Amino acid sequence: MDYLPLYLDVRDTVCLVVGGDAVALRKIRLLLSAGARIRLVAPDILEELAGMLDHQRHEIIQRPFLDEDLSGVRLVIAATDSDAVNGAVAEAAKARGLTVNVVDGAEQGNAIMPAIIDRSPLIVSVSSAGKAPVLARLLRTRLESLLPDGYGRLAELAGSFRTQVKARFSSLNDRRYFWEKVLGGPAAEQALAGNMEQARKMIGQALDAQDEQQVGEVYLVGGGPGDPDLLTFRALRLMQQADVVLHDRLVSEDVLALCRRDADYVYVGKRRDQHTLPQGDINMLLVKLAKEGKRVLRLKGGDPFIFGRGGEEIDTLAEEGIPFQVVPGITAASGCASYAGIPLTHRDYAQSVRFVTGHLKDGGYDLNWSEMVRKDQTLVFYMGLMGLPRICQELVDHGRSPETPVALIQQGTTRDQRVYTGTLDSIVSDIAEIKIKPPTLIIVGEVVQLHERLKWFGLEQENA
């Protein structure tokens, strides 16, 4: 982060604004809405601005800025049309250790003013660190439509119950469960509709009915192949409310960053023949954490039901009577192929597709190779990079043409995606001098020849 987001209490404190035109007017309106006392300094001041500050709480000083104007102030805003004056104000303010914002000159000050969605007491702000203020305002406009005025009423109502809820629940997790249930339920809907008395009654009823011993739950969520934009809304919602996150090696850093920041993170990833935790231990850890009343996110790369061992994990949960939800994700075959411009099926090339694991439970490759040699079938191998020579040889030995196109997609859908193509006969030698690392997906079939024509993502990186 270029800046640390903070909200500043300026009620009944003196805030200095240097500048007297329309820009200063906009900033002063914000300060007044936050309860600040204004000290305005400028040689020329708009009539509207002077009238707005015609009150004993505020000061109007009609002259150029002087260092003495900084005495006793909490916040400084330089809002003149002169870079030199704004710079001088900023330097003087920073020399005194003050917070200073320079309008349209973020690099001169030490604070920036974000685009604001005001649903007081709920405040949402958007900032581009001063680099693209128009973009921040566009995002604010979009968020405005998602946050009706009723959210302010809802926040006020929730605030009025804080003391009661804290007295009722000794555990922070239990309080969080309660509020998430209430704020996502019918009481919140009543408040958003303006029926405040009914909403208050429903929250009181929910508080009386709560049992302090909460039942935990496990969320088995597919994190997709790497690009966080491919997550489902439901996945993101559960990622944001989990108390503990168990994640594997195939979950990208960008996806992991979207989980709740104050959750506990447990890495349970697996490499070939190297498991941080054996699968059985992972299953029992999920049970243990859920029985402690925690909401547990089991975050997996791709889709948890496609070579993700998700079935094994929820089978254990079901045996132990642990509630769970399963959220599918975009599997690597679909995501990586799409980002590489390789359709897995095509009327002219492939009428079926088969997903194959390149690494069996016992570490072997005892696959039904004879069923994989049809020319009109696309094969997608997961976890097959280490066994690539064996895979190519077995397919050729069982009748697939040595000229069959092959694609390797490394770190598909991410900014580090690389695509390497060849044939069953050539791909091993083609990549002999290239250090390819997992996760890498292998696609075998005639559809691979469409890659050159249909590729669209990361063109400047391919074969780098």
Are 122 and 156 a contacting pair, CB within 8 Å?
no
Place of tokens 């309660």: 178
- Helix, strand or coil for residue 324? strand
The answer to whether 363 is annotated as binding is: no
The answer to whether 114 is annotated as binding is: no
Burial of 246 (0-12, 13-18, 19+ CB in 10 A): buried
Are 65 and 41 a contacting pair, CB within 8 Å?
yes
- How do 377-382 and 405-410 pair as beta strands? unpaired
The answer to whether 44 is annotated as binding is: yes
Measure the CA dihedral 48/52/53/57, to 10°. 180
Are 383 and 442 a contacting pair, CB within 8 Å?
no
Query: 38: closest CA among 463, 168, 24, 47?
Result: 24
One-letter identity of residue 252: S
Query: 379: closest CA among 300, 441, 304, 443?
Result: 443
The answer to whether 301 is annotated as binding is: yes
Angle ∠(22,25,29) on CA atoms, nearest 5: 150
The answer to whether 302 is annotated as binding is: yes
Catalytic residues: 248, 270
The answer to whether 306 is annotated as binding is: yes
Are 241 and 180 a contacting pair, CB within 8 Å?
yes
Q: Residues near 231 by Cβ (< 8 Å), separated by ≥ 6?
A: 223, 224, 239, 255, 258, 329
How far are the Cα atoms of 385, 406, 412 from residue 340, in angstroms, in the given order? 17, 12, 8
The answer to whether 23 is annotated as binding is: yes
Are 344 and 447 a contacting pair, CB within 8 Å?
yes
The answer to whether 54 is annotated as binding is: no
Cα 266 versus chain centre, distance: 18
The answer to whether 290 is annotated as binding is: no
Main-chain dihedrals φ then ψ at residue 421, nearest 5 degrees: -125, 155
Are 218 and 317 a contacting pair, CB within 8 Å?
yes
Q: How far apart are CA 21 and CA 19, in angstroms?
A: 6
The answer to whether 358 is annotated as binding is: no
The answer to whether 196 is annotated as binding is: no
375: left (phi over 0), alpha (psi -120 to 50) or beta: alpha
The answer to whether 332 is annotated as binding is: yes
The answer to whether 383 is annotated as binding is: yes
Residue 445: how many CB atoms within 10 A of its CB? Answer: 28
Task: Give the end-to-end CA distance of the chain in Å, rounded to a whole number.
Answer: 29
Q: How far apart are CA 389 and CA 424, in angstroms?
A: 9
Token pair of 29 as six digits: 């309106």
Residue 119: how many CB atoms within 10 A of its CB? Answer: 18
- Could you list the residues known to form a binding site for NAD(+), using ranges: 22-23, 43-44
Please enumerate, by residue number, every residue annotated as part of a binding site: 22-23, 43-44, 225, 301-303, 306, 331-332, 383, 412
- Binding-site residue numbers for S-adenosyl-L-methionine are 225, 301-303, 306, 331-332, 383, 412
